[in-house]
Amino acid sequence: MIRYAPAYRCGQVTVQNATVSGLAYPAEGPRCCAIELVSASRVVGMLRADRFSDRAAALHIRDGWCGFDYQLRSSDFVFDDTLMLRCAVSRRVLHVVTHATVAWENEASDSAARQLVTVAGLLTPGRTGTAAGLSRYESLIRRLAGSIDKAAFVSFAFQFLLGRDPDPDGRQIYFDSITSGNDPFSVLEEIALSDEHTVLRRGWLPSPFDEQFPAVPVFLPTRADPARR
């Protein structure tokens, strides 16, 4: 079993293109540090600060083997616009990266196909998922509600909870509900109480990091403006 030491210091952190790199090391001892990637209180990834770094060697930090680098993905920011680098042992926040500071050109170049995914095709019933309440998805859902039109959001709600397109009556009822000023999240809460949802999901919902949950278009990086090249 690998044991990690708490991070004493984290520094020299840079974000170049979509790669975040830096140094993280304990106060003493031979063990390396483990770093959690945290989005809205959820761990979405983990890395080890155990790579050789010329910068660390030049600064005479340990033996130079305390570097880390990580290729950021747009899905890392699915819950929030900020991503915390947190010591996996002490849970101390070491650094914060924001979505807006990342240069996404490389990812944008190979994500055009995913940007064409329609809201209706975002979710399909799958075997994998997570046994969690709807509240676990509230941050993601509220971000989505503020980024797409009301009709598309109603379609998303039905796909997410029931795995199908909304019927005409349901589409109109929930569209009118949101238009009249009701909280969009309440639409999902109401659908989640239906017998259809209870029988279909049985307490399970698709994980946003599962293949059955493709990246929501609004969370993909904006493609570079040709005029600025």
Q: Tell me the per-residue pLDDT of 48-81, one tens digit each, with 9 for 90 and over.
A: 898 888 888 888 888 888 999 998 887 788 778 8
Do 140 and 188 fall within a single domain?
A: yes
Q: Is residue 73 part of a domain?
A: yes
Do 37 and 92 fall within a single domain?
A: yes
Q: Which among 59, 76, 107 is the end of a domain?
A: 107
**According to the model, what pLDDT value does residue 209 have?**
54
Q: Which among 88, 107, 126 is the end of a domain?
A: 107
Residue that is written with structure tokens 């949101």 in the block:
178
Main-chain phi, psi angles of 78, to 5 degrees:
-65, -30
Reply yes or no on whether the pLDDT at 128 is more than 70: no
Give the total number of structural domains in the chain: 2
Do 147 and 63 fall within a single domain?
A: no
Do 13 and 89 fall within a single domain?
A: yes
Q: Is residue 155 part of a domain?
A: yes
Q: Is residue 112 part of a domain?
A: no
Which range marks the domain in which residue 64 is found?
9-107
Between the ranges 131-135, 196-200, 204-208, 209-213, where is the mean pLDDT highest?
Answer: 196-200
**Range 137-146 average pLDDT:** 78
Q: Is residue 46 part of a domain?
A: yes
pTM: 0.55
Do 102 and 144 fall within a single domain?
A: no
Residue that is written with structure tokens 């070491």 in the block:
94
Main-chain phi, psi angles of 156, to 5 degrees:
-60, -45
